[in-house]
Structure 1
Amino acid sequence: MPYVNIKVTNEGVTRDQKAELIKGVTDLLQHVLDKDPFTTFVVIDEVELEDWGIGGLPVPEYRAQLGK
């Protein structure tokens, strides 16, 4: 019974994109590990940019330093 948790920044991931991620991960686990899709759980968490850090900085500050 696989459980996969995908975390992404909250930047407009669409319902269709989430569905594609869920299907893709489920299919991958079935293909590689022969896991039953009906017992595979995929959860997508959207995280606010201020709550995600890279290089010791919140994402907005990190991106500002990169000029993005």
Structure 2
Amino acid sequence: FEAMTVPEGHYFVLGDNRDNSADSRYIGVIAREKLIGRATRVLVSADITDRWQPRWQRWLSPLI
């Protein structure tokens, strides 16, 4: 993926499944007026290296 400059008033969004997400790497940047919400918490988290076991300590934890 090549470096790019995100224009003012736009956002570069990434999905949480790096290898299989339809995000800004494929659809481009998103204009601010198209966004309808803000992510604030982790809903569900699992450890893919441990048979998809839940990571309970991350469930519903704040993103910032």
- The TM-score normalised by the length of structure 2 is 0.28
Name the structure where helix makes up a greater proportion of residues. 1
Greater relative contact order, per chain length (Cα 8 Å cut-off, separation 6+): 1
Name the structure where strand makes up a greater proportion of residues. 1
- The TM-score normalised by the length of structure 1 is 0.27
